[in-house]
Structure 1
Amino acid sequence: MTIEKLVKLYPAGKIQQTQSTSKDLSLPIDGKYFVLAKETLQESEIRLLETLFPTKDYFVDSKKHPWFGYLFDQMTLELEGTFRIMQFQIKKPKAFLQSEWENSIIEIFPNLNDFFFTSEMDGVLIEQYNKNHYNLEELKSIFLTLDADFDSSTTVFVGSFFPANEQSLALFQEEQQIFKTEVENLRGKSTFSLPDVALHYFTNDAMNHSKIVQTFSKQLVLTDEIQQIVLALWHNQGNISSTAKDLYMHRNTLHYRLEKFYEQTGLSLKRMDDLVFCYLLITK
């Protein structure tokens, strides 16, 4: 939405270069602020406008970073090519060498189109498509190495490559929502992409609203040990030997636990369908 459209909707609004110092509503857009008196708005309108135009406490120069203006300030951007957006969240040590870290990022990614922080801990990297782009495992190694070098802890959501068009902003906003939703549910993954979380993300709402699932959850007692087994089996794609190794458990002991669980519930964690169902019950 542009300032022109806001003016048509709210002709009493004012365009300013800075935020209002009063209790008026200041909406950041196109590098300026559209200011509205809150008493002229309904509460639902205020919530909607604040969601559409979130106030930012971290300054990014839209002239130096046009992608920021496009993604966060509804500014226009002439795009050509195919891009992916990597969102990251970094926990920094007290003596974090930020300039050196940023220089390392620029050196590592030769096809980087733009890169900036959106808050003290969050940021995005926009990479243009190249046939020699890094795959997920390579990206995981890169960020683990950076964390080891800079004593940091980074979580990265690797977006998909999409051609630049009128859908680009909407696609980013959905990926942004996926990252915000799933970052708290990650177990042992610091770098991930949509396939890693798609099953959980797209079924979570349906699971939470299903009376069958709610009833089943009450009847099915998933102990901490069984939950660890389910998650380990899931991450090892059902492989018994790898799961036992991850759990520091003897393979025969794991087999015994699985048989016992089957006797109690009728669910065999050796079957992928049953394993998926139990995984969704745990993570819903």
Structure 2
Amino acid sequence: MINKLRAVFPGLIEYHPEKQPDIDAYRWFTTDKNEIVGIPEKELSEKDLLLLGAFLQPYHFHQAPMNQQELAWTELLFRGTQPDLLSEIKGETYRFIYFHLSEADTEPASFREAIASFYPEFVPIVWISANQGIIVEQGREPDDGEISYGQITDLLMSDFYMKVHLFIGPSFSDLAQARKHFQKGAEWFETIRKYNKGSVVSFIDAVPYLFLSQSSVRNKEIVSAVFQDTLEEKELLATIQTFLECNSNATMAAKKLYMHRNSLQYRVDKFIEKTGIDVKQFKGALTVYLALMINQIR
């Protein structure tokens, strides 16, 4: 798309944080692949702006100065290049917390201060537009304490007098695929907001809506995100399916599978640990069972 646009607008540039272009000399947009591009104001007519607005999203540099971590994540997610700084988190888990604000005039520094009060460590914030962006959680351990996302939305709504929606994306560890995961999560967030008006939606909550709204190709991507590294562990998935079909009754499932109850419980706990989805709870069980059904027919 960028090459086609450049053929019409020769002055088009791609945004690179380290180059510090003259922001005010360009009109900025994001493409369907979340690439930030700028077109010189002098090359644009009102008609051009109307046409571009039909397939590009306007981008506003409405953000506080970025530190090195935020610059690194911006490079990775918008350009696909992995800075050396992010190599330090290789092997650690990370996930994106997508946010959507009902107003576009939020002061970024105040927003960052509000978010920081909920985390014991620094969390990078990357803005996608004037009212959308992500919080990057990286390397968090179970004993780091749970983040109350409901309290985050309550605080933001009371302090900034606007509606806030959060999508808690799934956890990943493959940094090389971070850009793909980021783009896919942004698509999912757009879909979810059409169906679920809650202020906080987790990936587990979202999966049923995503299955109902996506094509078979997209369903494959959702299934992969649900099962993570267990996707090829057929025996483990078969055990989980039997467990769910026995209404999560471990004793009944163990008898059906001719195995010791402790062995079945070990497999269930292993699945929960690997995917982060608690199949002993209703929403987790529903999400995984739907994914199992889709996985069988794809």
**CA 1:55/1:184 → structure 2, altered by over 3 Å: closer, same or farther?**
farther
- TM-fit CA distance, 1:192: 0.7
- TM-fit CA distance, 1:158: 0.8
Q: Which has the higher helix share?
A: 2
Out of 28, 39, 45, the residue aligned to residue 14 of structure 2 is 28
Q: Which residue of 2 aligns with 1:85?
A: 96
Contact 1:85 1:124 in 2 (8 A): yes
Q: Which residue of 2 aligns with 1:196?
A: 205
Out of 81, 99, 111, the residue aligned to residue 109 of structure 2 is 99
- TM-fit CA distance, 1:180: 1.5
**CA 1:76/1:100 → structure 2, altered by over 3 Å: closer, same or farther?**
same
Q: Distance in 2 between matches of 1:50 and 1:117?
A: 15
Unaligned runs of 5+ in 1: 1-5, 14-18, 34-48, 208-271, 277-284
Q: Which residue of 2 aligns with 1:186?
A: 196
DSSP 3-state at the match of 1:55: strand
Contact 2:95 2:171 in 1 (8 A): yes
- TM-fit CA distance, 1:51: 3.6
Contact 1:93 1:152 in 2 (8 A): no
TM norm structure 2:
0.49
Q: Which residue of 2 aligns with 1:58?
A: 60
Residues 43-87 of structure 1, C-alpha deviations (whole Å, 9 max, x = no match): xxxxxx954445363336676421112111223233322111101
Structure 2 matches for 1:1-284, cutoff 5 A?
Answer: 23-24=9-10, 26=12, 28=14, 30-31=16-17, 50-52=31-33, 53-55=35-37, 57-59=59-61, 64=68, 65=70, 66-77=72-83, 78-79=86-87, 80=89, 81-92=92-103, 96=106, 98-128=108-138, 129-133=140-144, 135=146, 138-187=148-197, 189-205=198-214
| Structure 2 residue identity aligned to 1:124 | I
* Root-mean-square deviation over aligned CA pairs: 3.8
Contact 1:30 1:75 in 2 (8 A): no
Q: Distance in 2 between matches of 1:164 and 1:156?
A: 23
| Structure 2 residue identity aligned to 1:23 | F
Residues 165-208 of structure 1, C-alpha deviations (whole Å, 9 max, x = no match): 32222222211110112112213x1111111121121232459x
Q: Distance in 1 between matches of 2:214 and 2:8?
A: 39
| Structure 1 residue identity aligned to 2:60 | Y
How many residue pairs get aligned? The number is 176
The structure with more radius of gyration: 1
Contact 1:114 1:126 in 2 (8 A): yes
TM norm structure 1:
0.51
**CA 1:148/1:55 → structure 2, altered by over 3 Å: closer, same or farther?**
same
Residues 189-230 of structure 1, C-alpha deviations (whole Å, 9 max, x = no match): 1111111121121232459xxxxxxxxxxxxxxxxxxxxxxx
**CA 1:20/1:63 → structure 2, altered by over 3 Å: closer, same or farther?**
farther
DSSP 3-state at the match of 2:96: strand
Q: Which residue of 1 aligns with 2:279?
A: none
